[in-house]
Amino acid sequence: MDPSRTANIERIAALFYSMPLTAENVFLRPARLDGSHGEREVCDVLVALRGHGIVLSLKSQDTAAPRERPKLGRWCAKHARKAAGQISGACRTMKMQSFWCQHWRRGRVDFALGSVTPVHALAIIETGPLLTDTARLPDDLPDSAGGTPITYITLNDALNLVDQLRSVPDLVAYLDERATLPMWCRRMIGNERCLLQYYMLNGDSFADCPEPKDFFPYMLVTERDFLHLIEGKREADAGARFIEHIAEALATRNEDYAEGLDAETRALFEPVGERSRYLTMQEHLADLRLAERRQLGAAFLEVIEQAAASGMGRRRSWWSDRKPDFLYMIAAGVERTHGLRSGPFVLQAALAHHGRQQGMLIFRRTGGGFDICLAELPHQPDPALVEAGRRLFGHLRVFTSETDSLLPGL
């Protein structure tokens, strides 16, 4: 196996996962101390969000001569077992030992013992460049590592899966459902598109999955419906991509962020070099499911359009039933200095009016760019703040998300 090629594939996979899942939640080659052996890798890639993790172990082929059947099947079986072994060690380490990662944007990130619970693991096997490069793995491969389910999947399918699902909660939901499938589904790798087709057409569920003799005829019969769904999904995902863009923009601070601001307003920002609040802001966008990102992003784009057409500031409140105590407030057409000075009070008033404990204000300022602030209220907010919220927001529409479906338009 070519070490440089393997390392490059691991790096590409981590970067690919970073695009929709937010780079700050994707860790390439986290490491631990191993007594006299010094540093050792925990796993190839770790996706971690709010204390839950997805462990990735990648196995790639040699550069010169990709294997063909039957050698491909034997190679996949051998390296799937190796990947399962690595995953087992990673899950054990995360429960029993601290570790760290030198992140390409965050610098060194330390993980205390037990701070990340591995909820799923992917044993990712490179089969070949063709979509027909499938392999049947042995039934006796481990299904889990210390209670963490292991999913065996090809490299191509692992990348396509995150490209379609686009969020950690959606990826976990898919893997939860997939783990309930019969063995013939879970040990055939290279056909993930068929499983995803059934999952998405069946309301994000594998319930009543057909037997092998009926499964592929079902795929053929529903192929047109699936292609139509994917076509609509591309347009529906525009709002989600907009939210992902905002989360990505939070990774860096403009060098001239303090220009034109008084000392009191500048004090609202974290000191240069500190990232805790920015990471919290990112998490509140990263933990939204795809359908929720779509709705919030679509609402935001509409607010921006309305502000541009009217020449006046516009704002809207939104929340998800999955996060009932958290409010998202979006605004556009706001002059930056005014937005930064009034934003925290306006957000607190919105929280008081809607009976929410925490919230985030994102405003698209005049001239482009975003500013974001967080706020939290006590359980019994000041009555004056409640009255201010009534005056400011009593006449505005409220948008909520009640669906987790991947289907466009819901």
Q: What is the mean pLDDT of each run of 10 residues along the chain (410 residues)?
A: 81 94 96 83 97 96 66 90 97 95 95 96 84 82 96 95 96 97 92 94 94 91 95 93 94 76 77 83 96 96 94 90 93 87 88 90 86 87 79 64 40
Q: Six-digit token pair at 354?
A: 């809607």
- In terms of Cα–Cα distance, which of 17, 23, 5, 43 is closest to 126? 5
Beta strand extents in 77-164 (DSSP E only): 99-103, 107-111, 117-125, 135-136, 144-145, 148-154
- In terms of Cα–Cα distance, which of 362, 223, 242, 249 is closest to 293? 242
**C-alpha span between 233 and 214 (Å, rounded):** 27
**C-alpha span between 327 and 319 (Å, rounded):** 5
Q: Six-digit token pair at 196?
A: 């995803």
**C-alpha span between 346 and 216 (Å, rounded):** 55
State which amino acid sits at residue 386.
V
Identify the residue whose tokens are 């502000």: 307
Identify the residue whose tokens are 């929410």: 356
Identify the residue whose tokens are 């009543």: 208
* CA dihedral over 39, 40, 43, 44, signed as positive or negative: positive
Domains in the chain with CATH codes: 3-189 (3.40.91), 191-236 (no CATH), 238-401 (no CATH)
CA distances from 94 to 7, 87, 146, 204 (A): 22, 11, 11, 30
Q: Six-digit token pair at 271?
A: 């000191």
Nearest-10 Cα torsion for 334, 340, 342, 347: 90
**C-alpha span between 387 and 257 (Å, rounded):** 33
**C-alpha span between 150 and 47 (Å, rounded):** 15
Q: Six-digit token pair at 288?
A: 């939204």
Between strands 358-365 and 370-376, the pairing is antiparallel
* DSSP letter, residue 214: H
What pLDDT does 105 receive? 92
What pLDDT does 56 receive? 98
What pLDDT does 223 receive? 95
Between strands 107-111 and 370-376, the pairing is unpaired
- In terms of Cα–Cα distance, which of 122, 128, 127, 115 is closest to 43? 122
Residue 222 backbone zone (phi > 0: left; psi -120 to 50: alpha; other: beta): alpha
**C-alpha span between 132 and 9 (Å, rounded):** 20
What pLDDT does 402 receive? 45
What pLDDT does 343 receive? 87
The residues, any chain, with a CB within 8 Å of residue 175's CB and separated by 6 or more, are: 54, 120, 149, 151
Is-contact 250 278, C-beta < 8 A? yes
Q: Taking the model in full, what pTM does it have?
A: 0.90
- In terms of Cα–Cα distance, which of 231, 172, 181, 245 is closest to 207? 181
**C-alpha span between 24 and 254 (Å, rounded):** 18
